[in-house]
Structure 1
Amino acid sequence: MVLADKLLIGTYKLRKCLKPGVALCSFRGGCLANYCSSNSPKPVTLPGSTFAQNTSRGGLQGHRPKEADLDISSPEEKPEISFDKAIRDEVKDHFRRLKDDIVNRWIGPEGRPLHEVLLEQAKVVWQFRGKEDLDKWVVTSDKTIGGRSEVFLKMGKNNQSALVYGTLSSAAPLDGEHSRSGYCAMISRPLRGPFERRRSYDWSQFNTLYLRVRGDGRPWMVNIKETTDLIQRKDQMYSYFMFTRGGPYWQEVKIPFSKFFFSNKGRIRDAQYQLMTDKISSIGFTLADKVDGPFFLEIDFIGVFTDPAHKEEFAYENSPELNPRLFK
């Protein structure tokens, strides 16, 4: 009877020890060693072992962890890349921009009422208040032809302006092809509509370019390009000078559109044409004063406005000898 009671008590304790949900500590006290067969070796659990680390996070669910609880990804699995989804998203974005263009055409530019646009006397086209404003511009220099000039563009103090700075070098590249060098430029990126369609700025209701800048006393060339599909006209632009005073104070520069002269590949043409302000593609600033050394130009904003006192339509004369097309 005593032997039978011991067997019954041992069986009961063994079932209780192997009950699912019991923590690992129940095994460490020799529970299996006391009630399992004496021929089987005792389990040895070393500190820091993998089994102890895995089971110390929570209770042991049965004799082996469930596969659903394991969060182990196979090394052969790769992130799913769907080109079809990317194309669909791109097409949706272009159609959304096309819809905005159509709606704005009926309502007015930038979704404003048309009567407000017609009565507008001034407009800020570019301002610099963050990195997204800098992304609308690109800088270039004579390094593209082997020169030594350097130009950089960054945000100014307190993210309230754009700072163009660098070093101008008039040393000609030693390639045997170019005899002149020494220029740096900052150019706005052309407007792009839906499906990469070219767009243009319409400044026909304004007559003056308006800038707020701060420079180091150097003269800059302001260049305006028209929207054109002709390859032979890609180097044509309209230009005028902007003289900076230098010093710590901001200056407001006002340049009438009638003052811009026509040039091709940097050369002023004998035949002059009036700037078409309803088809503006981009605007740029070029430094090429042949003075080697550091430079900087800080720009607050670039805009347009209507000067009621300015009545001049075109500042340059034409004659049948210079421009026969205008006198046919």
Structure 2
Amino acid sequence: MCALKLLRCSHYQRLLLPSVSPLSVPRRSVTPSEYRRPGQPQDKRRPWQKVNFNFSKGVEGIKKHFTLLKKEVTDPFIGPEGRPLREHMLEQNRVLWEFKGPQDLEQWTVSCDQEIGGHSEVHLKMSRNNSTCFLYGTLSSVPPKDGETRYSGYCTMRSKKPQALFDRKKHHDWTTFNTLYLRVRGDGRPWMINIAAETYFSHQKDDIYNYFLYTRGGPYWQDVKIPFSKFFLTHRGRVQDDQHPLWLDKVNSIGFTLGDKVNGPFQLEIDYIGVCIDYAHTEEFAYELYKRNPEV
């Protein structure tokens, strides 16, 4: 009698309760694959096949790190950043990047929308007299036909991040200056100057300070002075409501971006990039600061 009741109860439970299958983990979460844009071929190489084993490159790396080791040991005995203390205290301007040979171009990287399937082109080379750098190419705002990208058309030139011994982090310290000074010759297009600084959190890695550079065009050079207080904070191209001044003691890189959506050739010639101190400029920050919890 008891066995019959148990059979009836189990039969009613199967009818009332839905069938539950064993817990299964999706295959995608177990073996995640790298994101690949539509139309791009899949890279089927093994992980060890992607490593470039080059003996000459290793020897160059050893020479580089021994040079940095010597510099880090001897510089503190000379003064701040390897210069005498008197020169450091009386310094009013400093040339950060100049172009006197092909070795100076190794401190820069160029990129464009070809990385996402676009049609723009960008090149960087020395001028004929080997005293300036020449950034040129063609801008195209036609988006790639991948069914995903809607906007395209940009070209960028950016300085490499400074590195200390054994590829440790290192930053530019511009705390004694308040103005960016550069000498350029453009073709009349508006450029965006980008300054990237070190951040505390990983979600701030795309925070960049920007300001506009309007070139006049023509055969004459243009001396541009931009106070650091004029640079505004953006995140992935969007201006942020919470603005705060640039940290001049933790600057990582500086760059130039063209994206005015005007298809055609462009060119920008740069003589040097430096910083200076303008005693007539006393502004700390040019934009309004918002208080999250204002006092009543």
* TM-score (structure 2 length as normaliser): 0.76
RMSD: 2.3
Q: Are positions 1:114 and 2:85 aligned together?
A: yes
Unaligned ranges ≥5, structure 2: 1-53
4+ residue segments displaced more than 4 Å: 83-93
Distance 2:175 2:135 in 1: 29
SS of 1:157's equivalent in the other structure is coil
Q: Deviations over 1:218-248 (max 9, x none)?
A: 0000000012464322211100000000000
Q: Residue type of the partner of 1:112?
A: R
- Which residue of structure 2 lines up, in the alignment, with residue 289 of structure 1? 260
Q: State how far apart, in whole Å, the 2-side matches of 1:87 and 1:153 are.
A: 26
Aligned twin of 2:16: none
> Which residue is equivalent to 2:272?
301
Cα shift at 1:93: 5.0
Determine the C-alpha separation between the residues in 1 that align with 2:171 and 2:117: 32
For 2:144, which of 173, 177, 194 is the aligned residue?
A: 173
Q: Which runs of 5+ in 1 are unaligned?
A: 1-82
Deviations 1:45-99 (A, max 9, x none): xxxxxxxxxxxxxxxxxxxxxxxxxxxxxxxxxxxxxx99997985575254234
In the other structure, the counterpart of 2:48 is none
Q: Distance in 1 between matches of 2:57 and 2:70?
A: 20
Partner of 1:150: 121
1:275 to 246, 262, 266: 246
Task: Using the TM superposition, give the Cα deviation of residue 215 of structure 1 relative to its aligned residue in structure 2, in angstroms.
Answer: 0.2
The amino acid of 2:156's aligned partner reads A
User: Residue 214 of structure 2 aligns to which amino acid in structure 1?
Assistant: F
CA deviation profile, 1:91-138 (whole Å, cap 9, x unmatched): 575254234124323422452201211210000000011000001001
- Counterpart of 2:46? none
Instruction: Give the superposition deviation at 1:198.
Output: 1.4
Q: Which amino acid aligns with 2:148?
A: E
Q: How many residues align?
A: 242
What is the rounded CA distance, in whole Å, between the counterparts of 1:85 and 1:168 in structure 2?
Answer: 37
Q: 1:235-263: CA deviations, max 9, x gaps?
A: 11100000000000001000000000000
- Partner of 2:114, secondary structure, is helix
Instruction: Tell me the alpha carbon deviations over residues 14-58 of structure 1, each in whole angstroms, 9 at most, x when there is no partner.
Output: xxxxxxxxxxxxxxxxxxxxxxxxxxxxxxxxxxxxxxxxxxxxx
Amino acid at match of 2:168: R
Larger Rg: 1
Distance in 1, matches of 2:197 and 2:227, equals: 16
Match status 1:255 vs 2:210? no
Q: Distance in 2 between matches of 1:186 and 1:85?
A: 28
- Give the equivalent residue in structure 1 for 2:15: none
Residues 183-198 of structure 1 mapped to structure 2, 5 A cutoff? 183-198=154-169
Q: What is the percentage of aligned positions where both structures have the same residue? A: 55
In the alignment, which residue of structure 2 is the partner of 1:164?
135
CA distance in 1 between counterparts of 2:211 and 2:59 reads: 45
Could you tell me which of 130, 136, 143 is aligned with 2:101?
Answer: 130
Q: Are 1:245 and 2:216 counterparts?
A: yes
> How far apart, in 2, do the equivalents of 1:162 and 1:204 lie?
27
Q: Alpha-carbon deviations, 1:268-302, whole Å to 9, x = none?
A: 11110110011110000000011110000000000
CA distance in structure 1 between the partners assigned to 2:169 and 2:263 by the alignment: 37
**Counterpart position of 1:42:** none
Of structures 1 and 2, the one with the larger relative CO (CA 8 A, separation 6+) is 2
Structure 1 157/104 Cα, relative in aligned 2: closer, same or farther at 3 Å?
Answer: same
